[in-house]
Amino acid sequence: MHEAAPVNPWVALAYLVAGVCFILALRGLSSPATSRRGNRLGMIGMGIAVLTTILTHLPGSTEGWTDACEVGERLCPDGYPIDWASAAEILAAIVIGAVIGLTTAKRIAMTAMPQLVAAFHSLVGLAAVLVGVAAYLNPAAFGISSLVVPMIGEPFQVINPISKVEMGLGVAIGAITFSGSVIAFLKLNGSMSGKPILLPGRHVINLATLAAILLLVAQFAHSQDAWPFWAIVVLSFAIGFLLIIPIGGADMPVVVSMLNSYSGWAAAAMGFTLGNTAMIITGALVGSSGAILSYIMCRAMNRSFISVIAGGFGATDSGGAGATAIDRPWKRGSAEDAAFLMQQAEQVIIVPGYGMAVAQAQHALREMGDKLKEHGVRVKYAIHPVAGRMPGHMNVLLAEANVPYDDVFELEDINSEFAQTDVAFVIGANDVTNPAAKTDKTSPIYGMPVLDVEKAKTVLFIKRSMGGVGYAGVDNEVFYRDNTMMLLADAKKMVEEIVKAMD
């Protein structure tokens, strides 16, 4: 066995610069005002990392090398003959991927971003699995074999035990990310019911499967047999499906950020396996930031973080899916009524929700806000952390419609203003405005922070019909209050009618 070749300082510096760019990118993405700069820094960092990796890992032939040469070492006396055929395949794959990415980015609607994010997470997980499989089948090519034992026929390459643990965990996390993201994509895309699918004994099955995967990783690290490695792959794919299937649509924002975290840890594990600093840094950043975001969102939804990542813990076979609205008196309004009330107001707070995303009403909503400003009305937008189907869903849609960043406020920054507001205009947001979260201890959303829209002088609530309920399966008592006027229609159509009534 040769001694490890020294690390090129320029390579280490390039990966360090890429890591700094990733950290600054995350910082920039924490605010809509700096999100574009954050995206640019992220792209620059990834460009540096990819280019550095390509230049330092171009496939070559060892033909004619001396015994003193290390694979991948650039100081060999006989040079480093590049295998241009393999290099062309790598470059072709990069070009194909870039074309698919650019085409997808240009064509995808902003309302479909949750599905796109879930699909991307699945690809990251699958890539981790494929890299792990390739490293297992040919460890010497990845520089992770500790020695070569002569055997009858082909020599047997023994993998370092620590590398086997990293490989096993990386493959497991990657497979879970892939299959879980596929289920999340199907639910978000409407190809699969968003209702929880609760299997009998699911908790026992999930825990037993996870325990089996950990035992198989230990067995693989000890023996390097083929059967525990492939068993890890199969069981991990299975547990990914089992973990996400019981999670209902209401928890999808947490699931998206959770899968984001999983994809990061999978990349970090593969980075350790391959000895790639850039992958370790990137994976750790994505994994930790995704985990923190998941925790924050669980608190915002009054969910247990452990119960969500365990997959459907706390879910019941009854509840939201079969719940119906309460038959109580309520007031119905028209677009003309809404236009008159808002034009006479000093301040209007707009609360967007998933109904706005479905109707793609964000552009009409911004036009309505501009009209109100022309009449001297202060317009603000209140965003709940889990409104929509993914973290920041409402922020993305409002940004697409060119709503000024200064008009958009998070829950904790604007909730106290509802009591001094003339009109709260709610468009397709149900559970996040339900006062039952503060008063009804038997409610499934009890304890979840909500927007205090009921404190406004008048509440205008856009909803398709009175027959439906939110994801949590509970009716919203705001619908029946004396200061509430229900505007029953498609969100986009109703807002457009309100805009016309303002002319």
C-alpha to C-alpha distances, 124 to 136, 181, 433, nearest whole angstrom: 18, 10, 35
Side chain identity, residue 435: P
Q: Which helix (H) or strand (E) holds 265?
A: helix 252-274
* The pair of three-digit structure tokens given for residue 408, joined into one six-digit string: 């958009």
Transcribe 88-138 into DSSP letters: HHHHHHHHHHHHHHHHHHHH--GGGHHHHHHHHHHHHHHHHHHHHHHHHH-
- Please give the Cα distance from 253 to 235 (Å, whole number): 25
Told to judge if 431 belongs to the known catalytic residues of this protein, a careful annotator would answer yes
473 contact partners, CB below 8 Å, separation of at least 6: 319, 320, 321, 322, 323, 444
Among candidate residues 389, 175, 210, 426, the one with its CA nearest the CA of residue 310: 210
- Give CA 118 to chain center in angstroms: 6
Q: Is 296 exposed, middle or buried (0-12, 13-18, 19+ CB in 10 A)?
A: middle
C-alpha to C-alpha distances, 384 to 71, 144, 209, nearest whole angstrom: 54, 47, 36
For residue 384, is it left (φ>0), alpha (ψ between -120 and 50) or beta? beta
Residue count of the chain: 503
- Please give the Cα distance from 433 to 417 (Å, whole number): 14
Residue 69: CB atoms within 10 Å: 18
The 8-class DSSP code of residue 388 comes to: S
Q: Which one of 251, 431, 452, 475 is the catalytic residue?
A: 431
Q: Would you name the residues annotated as active-site residues?
A: 431
